[in-house]
Amino acid sequence: MVRRIGATSLAFLAAFSLVNLASAARPPRPAAKKPASGVKVSSEADPNALIAVATPALAQAAAEFKTQTKALVVAESGNGAPAYAAQDLGKVVASAEAAVQKALSEPELAPLRDRSALAFRRARAALGSGGGPVAKDTADSALSALGQFLDRLATLGSKEPATVDLCVVSKPDPGSRASFRPVSDPAAVKVLTTDFPITLVRGLYSYSAAPPEGSKGKPIQCGWENAGGAGAAAAPCLDLFDDPKAGLVCDFAHGTCQRGAASCS
C-alpha cells in the first residue's frame, strides 16, 4: 500500500512539473507601452514584442512562398503563350495567406493582419477569377508584388518597427477628438485629442473625427460605420504600412482628413 501511494505521488509530481515547464516555455505577453498624453487606450501588449515572436513564422511563410512560386509548372494558354494553371496559383496564394494570418493572430496585430489580407486580395484580383490559365507575365507580376510584401512583413521588428507614431492635427482649430480602429475589429478603438501623436500598429484603419466644442465644423468619418465589413476592407481609409511617416491633417472647414506634413507637441 505504501509503495502504491509513493508511485502515485511521484506520477503527480512529474505531471505537475511538466505543466510548469510547458507554461514556462510559452513566452509571456509583453507589457503595454505607456501611451502619450491625450491618448485614451485599453490595456494591450507591446505590438513590437508580439511581432518579434511572429517573425520566424512570417519569414518561413515568405520563404515557402518563393519556393512554391518557383516550382509552378509552366504550360500553354489557348493562344500558345506560356501560362500557369489557375488552380496551382490559387493553392500557392492560399497557403501563404493561411500562414501569415496564423502568425498575426494576436488581437493587437489586427491592423497588420488586415493589411496582409488586402495584399492577398490585390494579388487574387491581378490573377483574375476566370478559372482558366493565367498568362505567365501577368502571374509573375502579381506574385512578385506579393512576395515583396511578404519579405517586408518578415523584417518588421528588425529593420523597422511594427508601430508608428501618427501625428494628428486639426484645422482651423486644435483640440478635436479623433478615434481610430482596425478595419476588422470595430471594438478596438483608440481615442486622442489633437494635436498629439498616437502610437498605432502599421496597417489599415477606419477613423472618425469630431470638431472642437463650439466649432462650426462637421464631423469627419471614413469607414467608421461599416468597419469590419468587406467594403471597408476593400477601400481602406488609412494605410499606415507603406507610408508611416506622414501625419493626418483633419480640416473641419472642408470636412476632410488627408495624409501630409504635420507637427505635434
Distance from chain centroid for Cα 211: 29
pTM of the predicted protein model: 0.79
| pLDDT score of 132 | 85
Q: Give residue 59's pLDDT band: very low, low, confident or very high (50, 70, 90).
A: very high
pLDDT (tens digit, 9 = 90+) per residue, 186-238?
999 999 988 888 999 999 999 999 998 888 888 999 998 765 544 444 567 99
pLDDT at 249 over 70: yes
Q: Which three cell numbers stand for residue 244?
A: 508611416
Distance CA 23, CA 29 (A): 12
Distance CA 88, CA 167 (A): 44
How many CA atoms, within 13 angstroms, populate the side-chain half-sphere of residue 261?
0
Strand partners, 199: 165
* C-alpha triplet 64, 65, 71: angle, nearest 5°: 90
pLDDT (tens digit, 9 = 90+) per residue, 86-115?
999 999 999 999 999 999 999 999 999 999
Mean of pLDDT over the chain: 82
* C-alpha triplet 204, 90, 99: angle, nearest 5°: 55
Q: Which three cell numbers stand for residue 225?
A: 460605420
Among candidate residues 113, 186, 118, the one with its CA nearest the CA of residue 156: 113
Distance CA 113, CA 117 (A): 6
Distance from chain centroid for Cα 172: 32
- Most confident listed range (3-12, 85-94, 235-244): 85-94
Q: Which three cell numbers stand for residue 250?
A: 483633419
Distance CA 31, CA 46 (A): 6
